[in-house]
Amino acid sequence: MSALVTTNPATGEPLAEYAVLSDAEVDAALHRAAAAQQEWAALPIGERAVVLRRVAAILRGEIDDLALLVTREMGKPLVEARAEVEKCATTCDWYADNAAALLADEPVATSADRSWISHEPVGVVLAVMPWNFPLWQVLRFAAPALMAGNAALLKHSPNTTGCAVAVQRIVTAAGGPEGLFGALVVAEADVPAVTQRLIADPRVGAVTITGSERAGRAVGAAAGDAIKKSVLELGGSDPFVVLADADLPRVAALAARGRLVNAGQSCISPKRLVVDASVAEEFTRLLVAEVEALVVGDPEAPGTHVGPMARADLRDGVHRQVEASVAAGARLLTGGRPLPGPGCFYAPTVLGDVVPGVPAYDEEVFGPVAAVMVARDEDDAVRIANDTRFGLGASVWTTDPERGVAVARRIRSGAAFVNALVASDARMPFGGTRASGYGRELAAAGIREFVNVRTWWVLDEPAATAPVSE
């Protein structure tokens, strides 16, 4: 295949065509990235910060065009796409403002005359990124990786190739050395071999992936074989625990919007709504009403809440999960069908009576489907929340925040939110546990994933004796 074509999921119409890279061109991109990294790492961190602030300024200056590109490539409503661009800019500014302090040498009092810890770049960071937040997923790894002195190579999802090319253009326009950030347009059949070859190359110091369990296992295995640091941000089936004392109307409204943001195609959206039996009937009634009130339609039109899913195969996969769930005993309360006409639209769906053995209970459903699970009491809610192989985020809803914290402490997850929808923030680390992956993005933890933590021990004169132990 010599070209990759992107398609608008709202209309089915082709958008753009991109030439795919040969092996030699991929190697050339890696060569440029490695050379640029040496130049970039030699700059004072304050000069890197100037470039990252320019990235943020360009993002804001082009917000309308970039948001439209996101919407046309993967289908989210324009209001969500604009928010994504702004979040990228905010995160670039945050790392520009804070990276010097986060990576500063740390003096340590020892028997040496001087001893300290430094944080030094690892080289080129390879990123394999998904389509669902096609700018945010990229910038949330790239901002800290670049500020730490690394270069970056991106293998983006084919259907959001335009977003990958845009980030490459923006980093270069902001003053990054040529090749510092490279977008690799690779034919889909060649991705496993190209990824494995890049991970094995000594110039690549680390790899990060946001994606499926299957892709994460492959990338993690390749990184382990090459003895490279890796960060895996994989699937999620987050519990949304509604306790008996919750404010049901407000919580149901938030559950509907949280579950259906980005047409449900979010790792951290609340996929499993675990509700105390004493309020389950009322909560479910309110939830269905909220879901049915949301406007599904053209993502470029004002007032649209839910756009199409990103691809037809993804929509069809979600529909199979819904049909199998109903066949296994779940109750279809609303939705549950592809919508007619062009594009990849799926009716926002609520399933009730979701219990073990039902696909919506056992599997991650990556689409506009909310699964309601009834818990006998607080202990049972915790049990259901933990009855998953995933562990990305969790939220607990109650009028007693201290009770919410106590319940959340018993749930295994990388993030715990009380009376708020799970979301990422540059100031807080982001990542999961168990099958949701390992490592962290964002905050101090995120920038330190892509550095060599180096020990320094300096004596003014040679030691009088050798150590008697290692």
Answer whether 448's CB lies under 8 Å from 119's CB: yes
Residue bearing tokens 């053209």: 298
HSE-up of residue 351 (Cα within 13 Å, Cβ side): 30
d(Cα 154, Cα 208) in Å, to the nearest integer?
10
User: Is 88 noted as a catalytic residue in this protein?
Assistant: no
Q: Is the Cβ–Cβ distance between 427 and 443 less than 8 Å?
A: yes
Length of the chain: 470
Beta-bridge partner residues of 16 = 6
Strand order in the sheet with 270-276: 331-334, 349-352, 369-375, 270-276, 238-242, 393-397, 415-418
Q: Which of the following is catalytic: 88, 92, 163, 267? A: 267
Write the burial class of residue 403 (CB in 10 Å: 0-12 exposed, 13-18 middle, 19+ buried).
Answer: middle
CA distance 291 to 302: 18
Which residues are CB-neighbours of 240 under 8 A, at least 6 positions away? 255, 258, 259, 270, 271, 272, 273, 274, 394, 395, 397
CA separation for the pair 245, 73 (Å, rounded): 42
Query: Can 233 be counted among the known catalytic residues?
Result: yes
The C-alpha atoms of residue 133 and residue 270 are separated, in whole angstroms, by 17
Instruction: Write out the catalytic residue numbers.
Output: 233, 267
